[in-house]
């Protein structure tokens, strides 16, 4: 029920009237809160009684969990196999649009053409375009044989062209198209690809992209005056973990990890190539964390840089530093010093929510995170709403 108060002219707004209006507004807001509480309690009571609470309307799912099988009716009733799992000849339904014989330019003397070995490459150029390369194999007098090489544009070991693979990666990672919809669209184009092959293209052998991400992260950190950061819970490789983001207006980098700690955050800043270094930044951090002077003296004697985690851990064990706290502080300081050695400014500003994992370099508060509690506050009248705004 919504109450409408009559209009009150300015000359009628005496202090008493203003006070009464404020009380009415408080009561209205309180009544709204109680109404919402009653609805929540009704749902809880219904659940306890085995009844259904208010329905939760979920968004529509446009695609099914798994695309339909291309061989309708191939599975028999009562079969234990799931639909679409029957084997079929690979590439049997493909139309070959172009056949390109390949020969070797400079053949050894007395080489004899014996046969052509087919090498099929599927690609996508606005429409399905499949190329069958007939690779000539020659037998040599000594019994060996040689095979005509594939053109340079063919990706080694891949039966799908670079344009098609690029389209798949763009649609899934940039446009957010799910694997089910993407597979269906490829089949509509006439591309013969299985679910497993699509998954491998999206998830395996992506070292080039990881190298590019590391290069972007390193360049961004070396030139940045600040990097904002935050993390959130996320599932990765079938397990619950965390996703950490760092960046500013020039770059952004996301990393999925299993843990949430300051050491993990420093490793995220390093990327895949980590450097453990002992320098002035490292010593200053150890002092702030109150690491024992005797341990600092031990760590300062000997190698000052380690390029991988195993070598660093072996050095700690050799020095007799095995306690959990000592290993953690020593590793955090060495990772922090390694970032400075790699060109990150010791004065780098790190705006965050102030969580302990992000307390490295120079701390700053994030306005977006500071604003979140305000959105959860429930004002009782217009004056409180204006204050929050």
Separation of alpha carbons 316 and 251, rounded Å: 35
Q: Which of 59-68, 97-106, 220-229 has the lowest mean pLDDT?
A: 59-68
For residue 82, the model assigns a pLDDT of 60
Give yes or no for residue 74 having a pLDDT over 60: no
C-alpha radius of gyration, the chain, whole number: 33
Number of residues assigned to the chain = 389
Where does the pLDDT of residue 71 fall: very low under 50, low under 70, confident under 90, or very high at 90 and above? very low
Residue in this structure with the two tokens 């530093």, named with its chain if needed = 321
- Residue 147 pLDDT greater than 90, yes or no: yes
**Average pLDDT of the chain, as a whole number:** 85
Q: Give the confidence band of 263 by pLDDT, cuts at 50, 70, 90.
A: very high
Tokens standing for residue 129: 């375009």
Concatenated DSSP letters of 304-345: -EESSHHHHHHHHHHTT---HHHHHHHHHHHHHHHHHHTT--
**In which residue are the tokens 């009380």 written?**
23
For the entire predicted model, the pTM comes to: 0.56
DSSP 106-170: SPPTT-EEEEEEEEEEEEESSSEEEEEEEEEEEE-TTS-EEEPPPPTTSPTT-SB-HHHHHHHHI
Region of 84 on the Ramachandran plot (φ > 0 left; ψ -120 to 50 alpha; else beta): left
Percent of the chain clearing pLDDT 70 (strictly above): 90
Locate tokens 């098609």: which residue? 164
Residue 185 neighbours by CB distance under 10 Å: 14
Task: Count CB neighbours of 186 within 10 A.
Answer: 22
Weakest-pLDDT range from 86-100, 240-254, 286-300, 312-326: 86-100
Q: Quick one: tokens of 223? A: 């030139």
Q: Residue 50 pLDDT > 80, yes or no?
A: no
Q: Is the pLDDT of residue 1 over 80?
A: no
Q: Sort strands 239-247 and 252-257 into parallel, antiparallel or unpaired.
A: antiparallel
């Amino acid at each position: 029920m919504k109450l409408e108060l009559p209009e009150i002219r300015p000359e009628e707004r005496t202090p008493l009237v203003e006070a009464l209006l404020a009380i009415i507004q408080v009561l209205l807001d309180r009544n709204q809160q109680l109404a919402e509480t009653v609805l929540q309690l009704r749902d809880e009571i219904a659940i306890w009684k085995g009844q259904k609470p208010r329905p939760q309307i979920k968004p529509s799912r446009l695609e099914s969990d798994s695309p339909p099988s291309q061989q309708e009716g191939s599975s028999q009733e009562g079969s234990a196999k799931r639909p679409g799992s029957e084997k079929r000849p690979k590439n049997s339904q493909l139309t070959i649009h172009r056949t390109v014989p390949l020969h070797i330019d400079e053949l050894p003397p007395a080489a004899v053409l014996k046969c052509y070995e087919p090498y099929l490459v599927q690609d996508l150029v606005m429409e399905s375009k499949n190329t069958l390369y007939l690779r000539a194999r020659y037998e040599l007098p000594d019994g060996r044989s040689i095979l005509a090489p594939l053109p340079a544009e063919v990706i080694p070991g891949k039966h799908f062209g670079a344009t098609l693979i690029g389209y798949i990666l763009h649609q899934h990672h940039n446009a957010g198209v799910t694997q089910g919809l993407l597979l269906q669209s490829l089949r509509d184009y006439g591309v013969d690809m299985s679910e497993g092959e699509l998954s491998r293209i999206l998830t395996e052998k992506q070292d080039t992209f990881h190298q590019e991400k590391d290069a972007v992260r390193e360049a961004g950190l070396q030139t940045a005056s600040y990097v904002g950061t935050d993390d959130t819970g996320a599932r990765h490789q079938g397990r619950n973990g965390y996703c950490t983001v760092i960046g500013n207006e020039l770059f952004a980098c996301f990393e999925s990890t299993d843990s949430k700690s300051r050491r993990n955050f420093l490793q995220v800043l390093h990327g895949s190539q980590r450097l453990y270094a002992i320098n002035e930044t490292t010593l200053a951090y150890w002092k702030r964390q109150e690491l024992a002077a005797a341990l600092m003296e031990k760590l300062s004697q000997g190698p000052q840089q380690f390029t991988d985690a195993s070598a660093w851990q072996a050095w700690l064990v050799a020095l007799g530093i095995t306690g959990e706290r000592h290993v953690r502080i020593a590793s955090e300081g060495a990772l922090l010093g390694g970032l400075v050695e790699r060109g990150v400014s010791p004065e780098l500003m790190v705006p965050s929510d102030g969580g302990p994992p992000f307390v490295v370099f120079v701390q700053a508060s994030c306005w977006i995170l500071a604003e979140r509690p305000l959105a959860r506050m429930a004002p009782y009248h217009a004056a409180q709403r204006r204050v929050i705004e």
